[in-house]
Amino acid sequence: MTIAIVGIGLIGGSLAISLKENGFAKRIIGVDVSQENLDKAVRRRLIDEDAPLEQAISQAELIVVAIPVDVMVHVIPKILDQIKPHQVVVEVGSTKESLLEGLRSHPNRGRFVSSHPMAGTEYSGPEAAIPNLFDQKYTVLCETERSDPDAVELVERMFRSIPMKIARLDPLAHDLHTAYISHISHISSFALALTVLSKEKDEDRIFELASSGFSSTVRLAKSSPDMWVPIFRQNRDNVLDVLDEHINQLSRFRSLLIKKDFDTFYQLIQEANSIRKIIS
Amino acid sequence: MTIAIVGIGLIGGSLAISLKENGFAKRIIGVDVSQENLDKAVRRRLIDEDAPLEQAISQAELIVVAIPVDVMVHVIPKILDQIKPHQVVVEVGSTKESLLEGLRSHPNRGRFVSSHPMAGTEYSGPEAAIPNLFDQKYTVLCETERSDPDAVELVERMFRSIPMKIARLDPLAHDLHTAYISHISHISSFALALTVLSKEKDEDRIFELASSGFSSTVRLAKSSPDMWVPIFRQNRDNVLDVLDEHINQLSRFRSLLIKKDFDTFYQLIQEANSIRKIIS
């Protein structure tokens, strides 16, 4: 099958590697606003060739859209305007409701599938694409009831070929849950990085002492604002709710330190420890 | 050399593995308040034998103390009371000033060396001990000017044998910097775990969707309150300062979301990105 991948960054590029390796894609055409990214992608053999969007669409059976969520809102309607009835378009963005709301009345909505492969790293661009990024992870499909059954079937087959597992959430539930299990982690890391940088900026040496625990909690702070600002913009209300709750939790720890109430502090840590049951 | 390790948990047990493997220790005697831990440590061959504290001290040339920092304050003076002039005691705790202040007038202060090997995991107990935990990491030595030169020399030789790198900080600087590069990461993780657990407690399934970024930021929330509450108690003032700063940084993000000022939000993320220069 010929696949066009629009946006050859971390996600698009890593999908390209997986789908080419496992034979699901026979030929991959890359589309990107950056010719530099396309050249890198060709040199890394992430894609077989690059092409302008219209030309790529005309040649592909499946079009994968992996660009920042604010750009998707404009680009996906144009792609849907242009496709033939046998073609399928799938997007892999991190927020759903505002995109899907805008597409509900599109005459070709049935040819479109909304998905969110739940994997990533703090790096971006075609140089960040890696094999096995998605192996055994979940992909969330949203609002499949508005997609044609054959389109959903093709997209499921693509993700299962990687292999990924499939879950379904409605767009509002998706955006709420990802605020908790992904978006807040990024804000927490950005804020932690700024906290430490504000204090230790003149003391680079001190970071040599930092242990792996520190790196673990701040590594997401390397993430690209080009990807994340549009996510926070589109999911602002949910992110604000979670951020309020997170600041409340930190304020509880603060107030216990002020009161020197270390017994309750101990109990809170014990409660937090129950995350053990949930993450490996 | 015969080494007594007091506290056969993550740190003491991992040191035991390294020092036995590289031949620095010929024989390791384990001491622990928990006989169950000692039995595990013998079965895992972390230690050659276990013994009560007094007996272990009488047989060891070097005594490594790896117990929670609140217990150290009581146990180290007793060990120093008992040692002979050729013996050396080294502690490996995470806070310094309150311990060292209490030891400054001890007649055997010279035989004692204060160190902080900057490595760990979120797990605890002898079952958490792993090889290579300390490889190529830094150990901070504190207040070596109050230790006898031969005692410092022996402890440096021990850490370099692992191999670890050596840095020096005075106790106040140590406690301030570790608040930034270690202690705040733990509070941030505990609070993030509580934030997510409070919301998602009835929806275990949702965590299957969580990506590696989420796990990375909350993994420290599995850390033991028995180790961490004494650290927060002893380093309360520094931790409070850093926590205030962290809450301020989060509140800036919150206020930008409320105002929908995504340009400044973008700039803050770019500033946070400069952590790239610092952590690998």
pLDDT in tens, B14-23: 999 999 999 9
Measure the CA–CA gap between A194 and B264, rounded to whole angstroms.
14
Look at residue B46 in the predicted model and tell me its pLDDT.
97
Assess A202–B contact: CB distance below 8 Å, yes or no.
Answer: no
Closest to A107 in 3D by CA, of A150, A64, A77? A77
Helix (H) or strand (E) holding A47: none
B30 forms beta bridges with B5, B50
pLDDT in tens, A68-106: 999 999 999 999 999 999 999 999 999 999 999 999 999
pLDDT in tens, A176-186: 999 999 999 99
How many residues would you count in chain B? Answer: 280
Residues 214-273 of A with CB under 8 A from B: 214-225, 228-229, 232-233, 236, 239-240, 242-247, 249-254, 257-258, 260, 262, 265-266, 268-273
Distances (CA, A) of B43 to A233, B18, B21, B27, B131: 55, 17, 16, 15, 16
Closest to A272 in 3D by CA, of B189, B231, B205? B189
**CB atoms near residue B35 (< 10 Å):** 9
How many residues would you count in chain A? Answer: 280
Q: Do residue B96 and residue B230 come from a single domain?
A: no
- Taking the mean position of all CA atoms in its chain, how far away is CA B136? 16
Q: Do residue B80 and residue B113 come from a single domain?
A: yes
Q: What is the CATH number of the domain that holds A233?
A: 1.10.3660.10
Task: Tell me if A222 sits within 8 A of B276, measured CB to CB.
Answer: yes
Assess B172–A contact: CB distance below 8 Å, yes or no.
Answer: no
Closest to B19 in 3D by CA, of B47, B54, B38? B47
Q: What is the CA radius of gyration of chain B?
A: 21
Of B207, B219, B269, the CB nearest to A216: B219
Measure the CA–CA gap between A194 and A189, rounded to whole angstroms.
9
Q: Mean pLDDT, to the nearest integer, of B195-213? A: 78
Look at residue B199 in the predicted model and tell me its pLDDT.
81
SS3 for A135-189 is CCCEEEEECHHHCCHHHHHHHHHHHHHCCCEEEEECHHHHHHHHHHHHHHHHHHH
Look at residue A203 in the predicted model and tell me its pLDDT.
66
Q: Where are the beta strands (DSSP E) in B8-106?
A: 27-31, 49-50, 62-65, 88-91
Look at residue B201 in the predicted model and tell me its pLDDT.
66
Boundary (domain end) residue, out of B169, B193, B222: B169
Name the residue with tokens 């992430």.
Answer: A46
**Alpha helix ranges (H) inside B148-261:** 149-160, 171-178, 184-200, 204-207, 212-218, 225-234, 236-259
Contact yes or no for B207 and A181 at CB 8 A: yes
Contact yes or no for A214 and B279 at CB 8 A: yes
Q: Do residue B115 and residue B149 come from a single domain?
A: yes
What pLDDT tens digit does each residue of chain A (280 aa) get? 999 999 999 999 999 999 999 999 999 999 999 999 999 999 999 999 999 999 999 999 999 999 999 999 999 999 999 999 999 999 999 999 999 999 999 999 999 999 999 999 999 999 999 999 999 999 999 999 999 999 999 999 999 999 999 999 999 999 999 999 999 999 999 999 999 988 876 666 677 788 788 999 999 999 999 999 999 999 999 999 999 999 999 999 999 999 999 999 999 999 999 998 877 6
Assess A172–B contact: CB distance below 8 Å, yes or no.
Answer: no
Measure the CA–CA gap between B131 and B34, rounded to whole angstroms.
22
Helix (H) or strand (E) holding A74: helix A69-82
Residues 118-137 of B with CB under 8 A from A: 118-122, 137
Q: Do residue B158 and residue B183 come from a single domain?
A: no
Measure the CA–CA gap between B204 and B200, rounded to whole angstroms.
7
Task: Tell me if B156 sits within 8 A of B71, measured CB to CB.
Answer: no
How far apart are the CA of A162 and the nearest CA of chain B, in angstroms?
16
Residue B198 has pLDDT above 80, yes or no: yes
Chain A residue nearest residue B250, CA to CA? A191
Contact yes or no for A185 and B278 at CB 8 A: no
Task: Tell me if B32 sits within 8 A of B38, measured CB to CB.
Answer: yes
Look at residue A217 in the predicted model and tell me its pLDDT.
93
Phi, psi of B80 (to 5 degrees): -65, -35
Closest to A130 in 3D by CA, of A20, A29, A10? A10
Closest to A95 in 3D by CA, of A3, A161, A179? A179
Contact yes or no for B193 and A222 at CB 8 A: no
Q: A105, exposed or middle or buried, with CB in 10 Å at 0-12, 13-18, 19+?
A: exposed
Average pLDDT over all residues of chain A: 95
The interface pTM score, or ipTM, of the predicted complex is 0.92
Q: Mean pLDDT, to the nearest integer, of B250-264? A: 98
Q: Mean pLDDT, to the nearest integer, of B178-203? A: 90
Q: Do residue A196 and residue A160 come from a single domain?
A: no
How far apart are the CA of B112 and the nearest CA of chain A, in angstroms?
22
List of residues 6+ apart from A117 with CB closer than 8 A: A11, A15, A92, A134, A137, A138, A139, A159, A164
Contact yes or no for A212 and B181 at CB 8 A: no
Contact yes or no for A186 and B213 at CB 8 A: yes
Look at residue A198 in the predicted model and tell me its pLDDT.
85
Q: What is the CATH number of the domain that holds A153?
A: 3.40.50.720
Q: Are strands A88-91 and B138-142 parallel, antiparallel or unpaired?
A: unpaired
Residues 149-168 of A with CB under 8 A from B: 167
Of A203, A244, A266, the CB nearest to B225: A266
Q: Do residue B104 and residue B186 come from a single domain?
A: no
For A193-242, give the DSSP string. HHHHHHHHTT-HHHHTT--HHHHHHHGGGGS-HHHHHHHHHHTHHHHHHH
Q: Do residue B63 and residue B202 come from a single domain?
A: no
**CB atoms near residue B149 (< 10 Å):** 10
Contact yes or no for B181 and A251 at CB 8 A: no
Assess B105–A contact: CB distance below 8 Å, yes or no.
Answer: no
Boundary (domain end) residue, out of B112, B137, B169: B169
Q: Do residue B10 and residue B135 come from a single domain?
A: yes
Measure the CA–CA gap between B232 and B183, rounded to whole angstroms.
8
Measure the CA–CA gap between B27 and B137, rounded to whole angstroms.
24
Residues of B with CB below 8 A from A186's CB?
A: 213
Give the total number of structural domains in chain B: 2
b vs e for A119-141, b when ≥16 Cβ sit within 10 Å of the residue's Cβ?
bbbbbbbbebbeeebbeebbbbb
pLDDT grade for B122, boundaries at 50, 70 and 90: very high
Q: Do residue B261 and residue B242 come from a single domain?
A: yes
How far apart are the CA of A243 and the nearest CA of chain B, in angstroms?
7
Q: Mean pLDDT, to the nearest integer, of B249-267? A: 98
pLDDT in tens, B107-121: 999 999 999 999 999
Average pLDDT over all residues of chain B: 95
Task: Tell me if B182 sits within 8 A of B154, measured CB to CB.
Answer: no
Distances (CA, A) of A167 to A112, B232, B277: 17, 41, 37
Q: Do residue B98 and residue B216 come from a single domain?
A: no
Assess A35–B contact: CB distance below 8 Å, yes or no.
Answer: no
Chain A residue nearest residue B194, CA to CA? A272
b vs e for A194-231, b when ≥16 Cβ sit within 10 Å of the residue's Cβ?
bbbbebbeeeeebbebbbbbbbbbbbbbbbbbbbbbbb
Look at residue B19 in the predicted model and tell me its pLDDT.
98
B2 forms beta bridges with B27
Look at residue B3 in the predicted model and tell me its pLDDT.
98
More reliable by pLDDT, B160 or B199: B160
Positive or negative: CA dihedral B257, B262, B264, B268:
positive
pLDDT in tens, A30-52: 999 999 999 999 999 999 999 99
Q: Do residue B131 and residue B200 come from a single domain?
A: no
Of B120, B217, B266, the CB nearest to A220: B217
Boundary (domain end) residue, out of A169, A187, A211: A169
Contact yes or no for B209 and A138 at CB 8 A: yes
Name the residue with tokens 């390791």.
Answer: B28
Residue A76 lies in domain = 2-169
Chain B residue nearest residue A179, CA to CA? B196
Measure the CA–CA gap between A64 and A66, rounded to whole angstroms.
6
Q: Do residue B142 and residue B248 come from a single domain?
A: no
Residues of A with CB below 8 A from B210's CB?
A: 118, 181-182, 279
